[in-house]
Amino acid sequence: MKVTVNGVRRDLPVGVTVAEAVADLTSLRRGVAVAVNGEVLPQAVWSGLSLTEGDRLEVLTAAQGG
């Protein structure tokens, strides 16, 4: 299925969860913010929410420094 991840169209397996998609992008577990179709999601729901065709997934990680 086609999903837009951080502005780039990608093919992901049908039924992939938000948690699985995030794990594919980063090994970080803290300092990660996720939005699906413009809605920010708490980490507690990532593993129970499957992405669907056409979804827009944004994954942001915190960076330290200044």
Q: What is the pLDDT of residues 23-60, one digit of tens each?
A: 999 998 899 999 999 999 999 999 999 999 999 999 99
**Does residue 66 sit within a domain?**
no
Expressed as residue numbers, the domain containing 26 is: 2-61
| CA distances for 12 relative to 24, 26, 40, 48, 66, angstroms | 10, 16, 20, 17, 35
CATH code of the domain in which 19 resides: 3.10.20.30
Give pTM, 2 decimals.
0.90
**Does residue 38 sit within a domain?**
yes
* Count of domains for the chain: 1
**Does residue 40 sit within a domain?**
yes
